[in-house]
Structure 1
Amino acid sequence: MLGVFVYLLAGEFFAEDSPQKIYSSALSLVREDGRCQDLFGSTIAGFGEETSRGRRRHVAHHKYEKDGRQRIRVLFHLKVIKHLFERIMVQ
């Protein structure tokens, strides 16, 4: 029983097409992109949807099929330093 649980858990977090893996890759791309750093600054944090306990771990995702291929849409939020938003809006 424990082996099945570990297998399923590992598949969810370490599989190539898991929502967590896609989230991590996308967040890395955003953090490394020069345009995002110019716009938001170098301090960029990401998080998922807030749960009833106030945790932000759940990465919302939706699996669908398009053009005969399985696809997945992942939704997460970015958090940046607040004063950078104010400075950008003033300019």
Structure 2
Amino acid sequence: MQHGGEKPLCCQICGKVRSFCLKVHRKTHTGVKPFSCEICGKSFREKWYLKFHRKTHTAERPYSCQTCDESFNSMNEVICHQKVHKPLREFW
């Protein structure tokens, strides 16, 4: 919030305060999804969502786990996967 209590990045539709990407957030209210997959027809609000989705059809997995060499679509998936390699803590 700025001085005086005004919310400069507040969605005028739902009132949520966004620290970034307010334009992207507003699209959630319109239902408009202009980016369609040419293979399966699924539609997306943002071009990068479509780009990420296309990897599901091509089996492209450019990100690998350094521990077991399993590959993934995104670095975020690798980070989540790497938790399987951490030993469980024993709480005695």
Give the TM-score, by structure 1 length: 0.27
Higher relative contact order (CA 8 A, sep 6+): 1
Which structure is higher in helix share?
Answer: 1
Which one has the largest radius of gyration?
A: 2
User: As a proportion of its length, which structure holds more strand?
Assistant: 1
